Amino acid sequence: MEKTVLVAVDGSVYSCNSLDYLAKLFSSDRNLNIHLLNVVTVGSAGKDWMFNVDPHRTQSAASDKHAQVARKYLKEAEERLIRHGFAKERIESSVKTASGVGAAIRDEAQRGQYDSVLIGRRGLGAMGNMFFGSTSAELVEKCHKTPLWIVDGTVTSNRYLLAVHSHPASLMAADHLAFILKDHQDLQICLYHSNSVFGKQQPAKPEEFHEQWGKAWCDQYLDIDNYLFYAHAQLLVDSGIARHRITQLPTQMHLDISADLLRQAKQHNCGTIVIGRRRRDCSKGQIKGVSDKALHQAENIAIWLAG
């Protein structure tokens, strides 16, 4: 099944790190397509952003120069991926002019119906403050319709840590992971649940899972009292991932769940942590706090947010 990832590119070393991460995991995946996007920002006093909604409007000389630089970054990004084994026909690119980078990426993600959005964190490109905290934070806060892959630093491992808990968001994250890794043979997935010493989180009711997975599947596989370890594994197996590539780690209890997830990922040589997040219409709680804190503390690791 075809998959498409939207990759935000700004020419920074952090953007290059995200491209290298993508190449390490997916250069041999012939069903994965890539859309490279560079956002040219304009000041609030400028009118160049109108070019996107009115193509007959003439762009300024400064904006045209920025667009040339943007196309240079995109060309370099494409060449970097091709050197790593991606086929040229699997890569598309575009430049978008907008007043805000985060909003432009989010709008493109929703318009193009991408399977995920990949961004490099903390980068400061030559064209402005593209990934310097505010953009990734804005996307985490507002981009909920498309899973986010946020890469910090250099990621060297292709092993995954899937954070499990007894809520639909966690199974949705497993569903996303299974879809993306379908037919991948050289992988390892660790299932892990971290308990907070401040109290056990109230699990979801079985009927909350029925709409997405059906009552019959839920009746057979949901193990809510066991943090859905078995259900997560079954979703992965149903997508063709061999059961021997899935490992259940012992549940532990810690003061800081986010720090514990990062610690477990490092201990078990996992380069990517996959976390389910609740819908925006759900109340803010522990899950949102865990993902936010994990992103804040992350170093040389990728974090996927889905759900």
153-177 residue pLDDT tens: 999 899 999 999 999 999 999 999 9
Instruction: Give Cα separations from 270 to 264, 277, 303 (angstroms).
Output: 8, 20, 11
Let me know: does 226 contact 233? Beta carbons within 8 Å.
no
Say yes or no to pLDDT of 40 above 70.
yes
Span of 68-77, 84-93, 234-243, 293-302 with lowest mean pLDDT = 293-302
Let me know: does 152 contact 118? Beta carbons within 8 Å.
no
Residues 76-96 have a mean pLDDT of 95
Residue 255's pLDDT is 82
Say yes or no to pLDDT of 253 above 80.
yes
Let me know: does 125 contact 131? Beta carbons within 8 Å.
yes
Residue 99's pLDDT is 85
* Token couple for 122: 């903390």
Which sign does the torsion angle of CA 230, 235, 238, 239 carry?
Answer: negative
Instruction: Give Cα separations from 41 to 67, 178, 277, 280, 303 (angstroms).
Output: 10, 36, 30, 27, 26
Provide the CATH number for the domain formed by 3-152 in this structure.
Answer: 3.40.50.620
Residue 61's pLDDT is 59
Let me know: does 90 contact 34? Beta carbons within 8 Å.
yes
Percent of the chain with pLDDT over 90: 62
CA 273/CA 301 separation, integer angstroms: 8
Let me know: does 259 contact 296? Beta carbons within 8 Å.
no
55-72 residue pLDDT tens: 455 555 566 787 889 999
* Token couple for 58: 């003439």
Provide the CATH number for the domain formed by 159-306 in this structure.
Answer: 3.40.50.620
Say yes or no to pLDDT of 120 above 80.
yes
* Token couple for 81: 């991926």
Residue 53's pLDDT is 46
In this structure, the number of other CB atoms found within 10 A of the CB of residue 179 comes to 16
163-214 residue pLDDT tens: 999 999 999 999 999 999 987 888 999 999 998 765 567 899 999 999 999 9
CATH 3.40.50.620 residue spans of the chain: 3-152, 159-306
